[in-house]
Structure 1
Amino acid sequence: MVNIYLVRHGKTMFNTIGRAQGWSDTPLTAAGELGIIELGLGFKEKGIKFDRAYSSDSGRTIQTMGFILSNSDNEGIPYKFDKRIREWCFGSFDGGYDGELFDGVLPRIFAENGMINGSFPEDEQIANAIYAVDTAGWAETWEQLSGRILEGFSDIAEESVAAGAKNIVIVSHGMTIGSFVKLVRPELPRPHGLDNGSVTHLTYENGQFTVGEIGDMSYRALGSEKLKEK
């Protein structure tokens, strides 16, 4: 069995000013770096030793992983990038303000197509609506998006099993993590608003993912306390 610590990257410049990041990228802010230092120290305090590390190929996840490994005494372990666990691609809306897309364009598309029923739209509806209005032709259909997310995480888990890993850390993105949890556990509510530096716990055994605590902030809280003691 593989224990998976799935982390949302640290807070970035675009996160701070409310822009849709997607496949575009900005670095962690000073506050974002501090939050991930706390996370690494929390892992260290719990004595968690990782056998392998994985992240998307986005700069913000790579930067986050560096802070995690150096502050948790896990430097030097095998580490790979995988573009399949990138954030959703927002196409021509990448880098635009969140409100412009999520409070403006998408609700209008849903209303025009009779898709508003009082509940939060499903990922499939959101992805296909973004695909429909993307003028650049970069956005993904839900079939493409869900396929690469599930394939990416599944291949990472299988590779870790083959390597005999017991504990792995993965750094990915808020919407991608939420989609992945819903894909492997469709009966659960879809996680929204995962905090930067939060940890979602999973295990993988016999080809199946089990989802534990989602969006756990206890490691960051523990690391914050250790910093105050210095």
Structure 2
Amino acid sequence: MAKTLYMMRHGETLFNRLKKIQGACDSPLTPKGIADAQRVGAYFQAQGITFDHAYSSTQERASDTLELVTKQPYERLKGIKEWNFGVFEGESEVLNPKPDPVRRSHGDFFCQYGGESDLQVQDRVVKTLTAVMARPDHHQVLVVSHGGASFMFLRQWLSMDEIERQGIVLHNCAVIKYQYDAGRFTFEKIINLAATDKN
């Protein structure tokens, strides 16, 4: 029997606003990030969408976002933390490398600087969420994670060509809806409710 996973990216943070690399390091939600998370919570309520379980990464920006979306109890999971960018943490985003032409991501670049590879991130997120959704009482689940972690999870189930064809972009507070059955996730749709930033 198919189950449903709603995987959400956290709200905008100070480092997002300042265009700083933010993986293992953390920064607080901005007023926009708070408002956008509340908007997602209002959407779920208006649509009658409820969750039997909720999870966030262990990072504050994710748990703060979840607490703005729902008041229900939740558990924090290390397995859905953001990509660790090593010594690049907190530095300007202009220092990010160009995508690996084969893997079409940062590939192994950050490993030499104390960080993770794209495939290491993907593996831990896939294993963590598969274990979560395999639990017998988990039928409709909310997870709040991060841009890089969520994107690598998506790439396990959709090719990069298909992601680009569908125009899937993981803005802050974006929610991806998946169906889960027998160890596999199927992309259903993306919900982008964040207010357009005119600044």
TM-score (norm 1): 0.76
Cα distance, 1:142 vs structure 2: 3.9
Question: Is residue 154 from structure 1 mapped to residue 130 from structure 2 by the alignment?
Answer: yes
Can you give the 5+ residue segments of structure 1 that lack an aligned partner in the other structure? 222-230
Q: What whole-Å deviation, never above 9, does each CA across 1:122-180 have from its counterpart, x for those lacking one? A: 23xx1301213x1xx3x123443222121112112112xx12x3211110101111111
- Greater share of residues in helix: 1
The one of 175, 182, 198 equivalent to 1:206 is 182
Alignment match, 1:97: 92
Cα distance, 1:42 vs structure 2: 0.9
SS in 1 for 2:176: strand
Task: Please list every run of at least 4 consecutive aligned residues from structure 1 whose deviation after the TM superposition is greater than 4 angstroms.
Answer: 190-193
CA contact (8 A) 1:9 1:197 kept: yes
**% identity of equivalent residues:** 28
Alignment match, 1:172: 145
Question: Over alpha carbons, which structure has the higher Rg?
Answer: 1
Alignment match, 2:192: 217
User: Matched residues in 2 for 1:129 and 1:144: separation?
Assistant: 12
Q: Tell me the matched-pair count.
A: 191
CA contact (8 A) 1:10 1:64 kept: yes
Can you give the 5+ residue segments of structure 2 that lack an aligned partner in the other structure? none
Equivalence map 1:1-230=2 (5 Å): 1-70=2-71, 75-76=72-73, 79-100=74-95, 102=96, 106-107=97-98, 122-123=104-105, 126-132=106-112, 134=113, 137=114, 139-159=115-135, 162-163=136-137, 165-186=138-159, 188-189=162-163, 193-214=169-190, 216-218=191-193
RMSD across aligned C-alpha pairs, in angstroms? 2.1
Cα distance, 1:207 vs structure 2: 1.9
User: Matched residues in 2 for 1:208 and 1:169: separation?
Assistant: 17
CA contact (8 A) 1:175 1:192 kept: no
CA gap of 1:193–1:19, structure 2 versus 1, over 3 A, is farther
User: Matched residues in 2 for 1:97 and 1:193: separation?
Assistant: 21
TM-score (norm 2): 0.87
Cα distance, 1:26 vs structure 2: 0.5
Identify which range, 37-46 or 141-150, moves more after superposition. Answer: 141-150
